[in-house]
Copies of this chain bind each other. A is one copy, B any other.
């Protein structure tokens, strides 16, 4: 086995590349039909202020030796207000099937407040990522007026133990710092990057995917952005745009059981309070349902939503003024969440490339041409 540090370092830098998105087709480019109007980037970063950073670790090949590799993993950071802001946001979460971890949710549920980034990594690296986020915050700035830094970070995971030496604990604090420090607006890298590096989705190669929707001005003009780390599903269940794509492309399946997971992050600039953001998080389940999931027992299907509205409103002094969109006006925001989730998952599969990992396991990419053929067969191809 070759020393894997070299490739890892190479890939490290790549994560910040912003010219990336133009080079690869996305689901819409292939003619997959989706409803609603995406934002300019069709990404979570269409929500102003949101920044995403990845650290991608790929090294080694062949037989798995615990602690040695092969390594196919990483870390993804999503900052609601950008990496330089210490201003918290309102948030809410939902667990469709909780065979997974998202630290920090007990306080999120209690307070309705999300203080810091949302981190996503592999199952066995949640701890190192969590403590590293705290250490990064301590170094970054003094505690807030109340004497607090971030102590209860949000860290979620899905398992990459098929392709990756997950028991080797290859994510280190410096990888976490890199994901945090390299977070940026603009186009978001998709596929085999960040926390999504070694993930498998509907028995195709999965990973990170994103999408967005922009509402008409008369409905408020709000943006909803979604980012997924996609690792769920059995091939036979996969539907894309309602078409039974999974059954039509039964090649090279890799699982007996639905043992994967999906983390879904929903961002919006609509002025929503925590109760409403829990509602948004729950809608992600319906987008996932459209793509065919039945949320298997082994799945950690955990969703989080936040609003970038009301900057400065969640302070500790005095009574705060804030804005709220009434419940009766949430339908367009709900529908946008379902639609962007449906599309972000497909984007993850479209972007991910065939990967060979631990013990030479190969997980194939969703073949773009075959996808187009199937959509055409069912009269759903957009040409």
Contacts and interface: CB of A to CB of B under 8 A. Distances in A.
Interface stretch (A14-22, A49-57, A69-77, A326-334): A326-334
A101 B97 contact: no
A98 B327 CA distance: 12
Contact of A135 (B110, B132, B169, B243): B169
Interface centre among A220, A289, A322 (most CB of B within 10 A): A289
Interface in A324-383: 324-331, 334-335, 337-338, 377-380
Contacts of A98: 106-107, 109-111
Contacts of A155: 127
Interface stretch (A2-10, A118-126, A177-185, A200-208): A118-126
A152 interface: yes
A173 to B, nearest CB: 10
B107 A295 contact: no
B279 A338 contact: no
A210 interface: no
A242 interface: yes
A104 interface: yes
A295 B289 CA distance: 12
B275 A146 contact: no
Interface residues of A, number: 99
Contacts of A112: 273, 275-276
A239 interface: yes
Given A321-B321, A324-B319, A95 B110 contact: yes
Contact of A273 (B134, B241, B274): B274
Contact of A326 (B107, B132, B315): B315
Nearest to A282: B96
Contacts of A335: 237, 294
Interface in A271-318: 271, 273-276, 279, 282-283, 285-290, 292-298, 300, 302, 313-318
9 contacts: A97-B279, A99-B111, A124-B134, A135-B169, A258-B331, A290-B290, A297-B328, A297-B330, A378-B379
Given A98-B106, A319-B325, 4 more contacts: A101-B103, A127-B130, A271-B319, A294-B335
Interface of A: 66, 95-107, 109-113, 123-132, 134-135, 138, 146, 149, 151-152, 155, 159, 167, 169, 220, 237, 239, 241-244, 257-258, 271, 273-276, 279, 282-283, 285-290, 292-298, 300, 302, 313-331, 334-335, 337-338, 377-380
